[in-house]
């Protein structure tokens, strides 16, 4: 039996979801067979998940958008923007399923999978408890403070950096397999992971300084544009580390595959959140959660990305000045 698990790539929760699902599947469904992994990324104007990706006898999507494909066997997601189209949502709602689960009230998809697997199938997570807890902390932004999130002292947060920033296409599958049986600190001691981590951490520190230099802070909103700099990603808590009084952050970045607008709410903000950032991003064909959202554009649509970012900044700043 060949199982294909499609997961949100370059995301701690995405990889942890794949690991917990794999352990659950092996222990409660079938101990035999091969489980292979494919990372998924949000694409500009995405309308479907390609049918050819479902190449297993059993196919699962975890921590990513729904597909109405007849070949999809299992699905778990917790994002507000879980459907690529209204038709996909109608398809999900019209098809009662014992293997497809959606609950946007969960902070992490990993915890959703663990809870469903336990309550519906009798799965015991056992030594996965630490992984599940860290996925919930990371995806739910449940850090004690911005310093904890940015300075990366914990092995779990160091592994998060590797997951989010690695360009080694083989590494995510290795990490998923390791997560199923090894403690996070043990994974971080792996020489291959350490060799990946060290230059990424140095890059992380440089990127943090770049963000501080590029950022402007006005009326509760931090904005920065990283286009033109060799930055493929950044720690989303850095704006709150340097600007603890801010309420929101908005940024524009560019990679070879997309121009990206990111928007986030400062979980330690002195002011309450008054906006659903996923709903705002959905207006531009993006999505996410109430507290963090993103929009993907083609790489040649940088100016459109900037226009969207500035529109979001104006909206967030105008509400701040009216309070």
pLDDT tens per residue, range 45-77: 889 999 999 999 999 999 999 999 999 999 999
Structure confidence at residue 96 (pLDDT): 84
| Higher local confidence (pLDDT), 32 or 223 | 223
Helical (H) or strand (E) element with 224: strand 221-225
Protein fold of 216-322:
Diaminopimelate Epimerase; Chain A, domain 1 (3.10.310)
Contact (CB, 8 A) for 78 and 107? yes
What is the DSSP secondary structure assignment for residue 36, as one 8-state letter?
A: E
Helical (H) or strand (E) element with 58: strand 58-62
Comparing 49-53, 84-88, 95-99, 146-150, the range with the smallest average pLDDT is 95-99
Mean pLDDT of 244-263: 95
* pLDDT mean across residues, the chain: 95
Mean pLDDT of 199-211: 96
Helical (H) or strand (E) element with 170: none
Q: Assign domain 2-191 to its CATH architecture.
A: Alpha-Beta Complex (3.90)
2-191 and 216-322 agree in CATH topology: no
| Higher local confidence (pLDDT), 1 or 94 | 94
Domain boundaries, the chain: 2-191, 216-322
* Closest listed residue to residue 292, CA positions, set 321, 323, 270, 261: 261
Q: How many CB atoms lie within 10 A of CB 10?
A: 18
Task: At 107, list the tokens.
Answer: 């902070």
Edge-to-edge order in the sheet of strand 100-102: 34-40, 2-8, 58-62, 74-77, 100-102
Burial of 47 (0-12, 13-18, 19+ CB in 10 A): exposed
Q: CA–CA separation, 261 vs 245, rounded Å?
A: 22
Mean pLDDT of 154-183: 97
């Amino acid at each position: 039996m060949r199982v294909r698990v499609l997961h949100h790539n370059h995301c701690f929760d995405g990889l942890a979801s794949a690991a917990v699902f794999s352990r659950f599947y092996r222990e409660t469904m079938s101990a035999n067979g091969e489980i292979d992994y494919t990372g998924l990324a949000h694409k500009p104007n995405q309308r479907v998940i390609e049918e050819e990706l479902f190449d297993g006898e059993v196919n699962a999507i975890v921590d990513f958008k729904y597909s109405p494909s007849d070949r999809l066997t299992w699905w778990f997601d917790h994002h507000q923007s879980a459907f690529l189209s209204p038709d996909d949502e109608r398809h999900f709602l019209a098809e009662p399923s014992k293997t497809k689960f959606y609950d946007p009230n969960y902070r992490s998809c990993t915890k959703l999978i663990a809870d469903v697997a336990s309550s519906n199938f009798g799965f015991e997570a056992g030594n996965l408890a630490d992984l599940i807890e860290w996925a919930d902390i990371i995806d739910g932004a449940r850090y004690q403070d911005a310093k904890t999130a940015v300075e990366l002292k914990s092995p779990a947060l160091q592994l998060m950096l590797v997951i989010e920033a690695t360009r080694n296409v083989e590494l995510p599958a290795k990490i998923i397999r390791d997560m199923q049986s090894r403690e996070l600190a043990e994974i971080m001691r792996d020489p291959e992971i350490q060799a990946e981590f060290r230059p990424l951490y140095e890059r992380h520190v440089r990127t943090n300084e770049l963000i501080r230099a590029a950022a402007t802070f006005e009326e509760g909103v931090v904005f920065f544009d990283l286009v033109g700099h060799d930055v493929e990603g950044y720690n989303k808590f850095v704006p709150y580390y340097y600007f603890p009084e801010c309420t929101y952050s908005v940024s524009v970045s560019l990679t070879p595959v997309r121009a990206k607008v990111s928007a986030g709410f400062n979980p330690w903000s002195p002011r309450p959140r008054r906006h659903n950032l996923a709903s705002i991003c959905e207006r531009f064909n993006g999505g996410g959660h109430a507290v963090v959202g993103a929009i993907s554009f083609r790489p040649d649509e940088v100016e459109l990305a900037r226009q969207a970012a500035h529109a979001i900044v104006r909206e967030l700043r105008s509400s701040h000045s009216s309070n």
